[in-house]
Amino acid sequence: MGTHATQGCVTYGSCGFFIREMIDRSLSMLYPIQNQIRNKMDLSGIWDFQTDPEEVGEAQGWPLGLPQSRPIAVPGSWNEQYSDLFGYLDLAWYVRRVHVPPAWQGQRVFLRVGSACYHATVYVNGVQVGTHEGGHLPFAFDITDHLRWGEEAVVAIAVENRLMPTRVPSGNMPSMMGLFAGTPRTTFDFYPFAGLHRPVWLYTVPSIHIQDITVTTHIQGTDGQVQVTVQLNRPDPAQGTLRLRGEAGGAEREIQASLSFVEGVAQATLEVPQARFWSDRDPYLYQLTVDVAAEGADGRVADRYSLPVGIRTIAVQDGQILLNGQPVTLNGFGRHEDFYASGKGLNLPLLVKDYHLMRWVGANSYRTSHYPYSEEEMQLADREGFLIIDETPAVSLQFGDAENIPVRLQVCLQQLQELIARDKNHPSVVMWCVANEPMPARFGLAALEQNTPDPAEGAGKEFLETLLARARALDPTRPVTIATIMGGPRSWMEQCDVIAMNRYWGWYRYGGELDKARDSLAQELDEVWTQWRRPIILTEFGADTLAGHHGHPPLMWTEEYQAELIRMYLEVAAERDFVAGMQVWNFADFAAVQSIMRVDGVNHKGIFTRSRQPKLAAHVLREFWARE
């Protein structure tokens, strides 16, 4: 789908992709649930752990137990749990023994890892069952045939997070930063935490089971329409039922429809009169249950899966983003999964705290910079009504090394497919971002002064447009974008439905000169709007600020300077109807590489400190956003 706002109104239904031939039956991203048929067991907790820099573990039998282990928490980054592991990114082993309930016999048992950064190899009872490359996204392996019922199972996961030019994101490449380059040698400005960052699950499904569900919603007047596609793990004929429970016609109701599977796929539509629509102000969720009948006529249910559904539409029209037909502004933040001790590990109390603080300043949106966030976070966003720009791990792509571009492209396409398969049914996800700050060949302040084409412009444009096209093919129901870097080629914006701009006027350019920064920001916004006539979101803007550092006049690095810069950006945006969102960089200070740019190895652009205390700029945001 290549339609843009300049060609009229582009309306996207909620949640789903339609191209059946692109569905991989081996790619199951349904979140594990417990019900009358399915089972699950969370293996989060303390595991045995040992580093393996010489890579001798497999040959020496470590998949069955570690010779010199120490305890480690899962989920969590190993770099934050032990001081001697802070800079360690090579191979390490996790091992845990688990008793699989005998009642699970007769079903297929899967081991599912929520995120392993970056490459993982999984073993069960000493046998390798699979590998996965790429962090921040889940993967699962059928381990049924490797279990010995009545005995403990030994689960081992070997993980490494080496920085390599062929990986996404990349590392250990020639740096464009010169003296400002840091260690570890990333191409990106956040710490490359390693380890098992999200829960590890055991779960079961029956032999014939629901492999995938795709939900798409539409609105006609006051009525809602819920279109559901269900896919089985085998191309078998079967019968089933859909049940949607929630508010309809002003009362709690259950709406049903029948499913008839042909080659393992069935579709049905549920009509919801006087539906209650999902939005950032009223995030109402219906409960959808899918039943598949067992063979025969006894009415027994062979498999069942339930998930929340939000009825909503998203549209792009004339410089605006429309939620359920009404203009909406995506105000909030770029963020990071980052905290003391847990690193990038799932931290549920912190997640609740962050959502509370975002609501306190009046935010309704954020971007999952610069990788997919946890499934638990997406579920909370659905419940709390945040509008999410969902981003792949493709941060700081470079196009100067032609020999590595094809490999990186294939990794990006894999990550994009896994992300969309995982998050397609979340009403909170309103946009896909296929890359953050792809890098021109000329980078830095000098690039802003040159009017000649960038040497990487052609290769970068082809690469990025391939990702945009694939996102539209996988999911034509949502707009797509790229978060563009300051000084990058504007031609890279051409195929975006929404223009996303990361801009640092007043910090990296015209630092300390906010009047010049204001004029440059206003001029660039007007030029981009005139060229593309599409809604613009400033997906990054901000200034490094040391908490408690004050000055009069407001000098750079003081809380006063950050507050004045944020105020200036918000004032410029408020003068332009085509600005459809403002997302401050960053919600909170976060761990970065060590360099002369990063005091204490931290990026200090947060509106809150890393420990979640507000800086002065947080009150400026409340002044602009909390009143709306």
16 falls in which pLDDT band (50, 70, 90)?
very low
Q: Identify the burial level of 150 via C-beta atoms within 10 angstroms of its C-beta, where 0-12 means exposed, 13-18 middle and 19 or more buried.
A: exposed
Please check the confidence at residue 466 and state whether its pLDDT lies above 60. Answer: yes
Give the pLDDT of residue 597.
83
Q: By C-alpha distance, which of 493, 488, 516 is closest to 503?
A: 488
Give the pLDDT of residue 15.
40
Q: How many CB atoms lie within 10 A of CB 180?
A: 12
Give the pLDDT of residue 173.
82
Amino acid letter, 424: K
343 and 388, same domain (yes or no): yes
448 falls in which pLDDT band (50, 70, 90)?
low
Length of the chain: 628
Peptide bond into 118 cis (omega under 30): yes
End-to-end CA distance of the chain: 34
Q: What is the mean pLDDT of residues 400-421?
A: 94
CATH number of residue 491's parent domain? 3.20.20.80
Please check the confidence at residue 176 and state whether its pLDDT lies above 70. Answer: no
Q: What is the mean pLDDT of residues 59-87?
A: 98
184 and 196, same domain (yes or no): yes
Give the pLDDT of residue 318.
86
Measured distance CA(453)–CA(439) in Å, rounded: 14
Q: What is the mean pLDDT of residues 362-375?
A: 97
φ, ψ at 71 (rounded to 5°): -75, 150
379 and 508, same domain (yes or no): yes
155 and 70, same domain (yes or no): yes
Q: What is the DSSP string of 486-533?
A: TT--GGGGTT-SSEEEE--BTTTBSTT-HHHHHHHHHHHHHHHHHHH-
φ, ψ at 509 (rounded to 5°): -130, 130
pLDDT per residue as tens digits for the range 469-511: 999 999 999 999 999 999 999 999 999 999 999 999 999 999 9
pLDDT per residue as tens digits for the range 118-173: 999 999 999 999 999 999 999 999 999 999 999 999 999 999 999 999 999 998 88
Q: Identify the burial level of 369 via C-beta atoms within 10 angstroms of its C-beta, where 0-12 means exposed, 13-18 middle and 19 or more buried.
A: buried
Measured distance CA(135)–CA(77) in Å, rounded: 12
Give a yes or no: residue 8 inside a domain. Answer: no
Please check the confidence at residue 6 and state whether its pLDDT lies above 80. Answer: no
Q: By C-alpha distance, which of 382, 380, 391, 387 is closest to 336?
A: 391
140 and 261, same domain (yes or no): no
| Residue 48 and residue 71 in contact, taking contact as beta carbons nearer than 8 Å | yes
Six-digit token pair at 447?
A: 């690039």
CATH number of residue 243's parent domain? 2.60.40.10
557 and 616, same domain (yes or no): yes
- B/e letters for 77-93, b = 16+ CB within 10 Å, e = fewer, are bbbbbeeebbebbebbb
The share of the chain scoring above pLDDT 90, in percent, equals 85
Please check the confidence at residue 299 and state whether its pLDDT lies above 90. Answer: no
Give the pLDDT of residue 520.
98
599 falls in which pLDDT band (50, 70, 90)?
confident
Please check the confidence at residue 449 and state whether its pLDDT lies above 80. Answer: no
3-state class percentages of the chain: helix first, strand second, coil last, to nearest 5: 25, 35, 45
361 falls in which pLDDT band (50, 70, 90)?
very high
Q: Are strands 108-113 and 139-142 parallel, antiparallel or unpaired?
A: antiparallel
Measured distance CA(288)–CA(308) in Å, rounded: 6
As for how many domains the chain has, the answer is 3
Tokens 């993982």 appear where? 120
488 and 394, same domain (yes or no): yes
Residue among 437, 457, 540, 559 flagged as catalytic: 437
Give a yes or no: residue 322 inside a domain. Answer: no
Give the pLDDT of residue 11.
43
Please check the confidence at residue 14 and state whether its pLDDT lies above 60. Answer: no
Give me the domain span that covers residue 95.
40-205
Last residue of a domain, one of 172, 205, 238: 205
Give a yes or no: residue 319 inside a domain. Answer: no
Give a yes or no: residue 411 inside a domain. Answer: yes
Active site residue 437: yes
| Residue 313 and residue 218 in contact, taking contact as beta carbons nearer than 8 Å | yes
Tokens 């080496």 appear where? 162
367 and 309, same domain (yes or no): no
CATH number of residue 99's parent domain? 2.60.120.260
| Residue 54 and residue 255 in contact, taking contact as beta carbons nearer than 8 Å | no
Q: What is the mean pLDDT of residues 256-269?
A: 96
Give a yes or no: residue 549 inside a domain. Answer: yes
Q: Identify the burial level of 177 via C-beta atoms within 10 angstroms of its C-beta, where 0-12 means exposed, 13-18 middle and 19 or more buried.
A: middle
For the chain, what is the mean pLDDT?
92
Give a yes or no: residue 372 inside a domain. Answer: yes
Measured distance CA(418)–CA(1) in Å, rounded: 19
pTM summary value: 0.93
276 falls in which pLDDT band (50, 70, 90)?
very high
182 and 195, same domain (yes or no): yes
Last residue of a domain, one of 282, 313, 344: 313
H or E stretch covering 458:
helix 457-474
Give a yes or no: residue 9 inside a domain. Answer: no
Q: By C-alpha distance, which of 198, 190, 200, 201 is closest to 76?
A: 198
Long-range contact pairs involving 295-298 (C-beta distance under 8 Å, separation at least 24): 295/238
Give a yes or no: residue 561 inside a domain. Answer: yes
150 and 282, same domain (yes or no): no
Give the pLDDT of residue 9.
39
pLDDT per residue as tens digits for the range 189-203: 889 999 999 999 999
297 and 361, same domain (yes or no): no
304 and 447, same domain (yes or no): no
Give the pLDDT of residue 402.
87
Last residue of a domain, one of 174, 205, 236: 205
Q: How many CA atoms lie within 13 A of 370 on its CB side?
A: 26
Give the pLDDT of residue 386.
98
Q: What is the mean pLDDT of residues 12-30?
A: 48
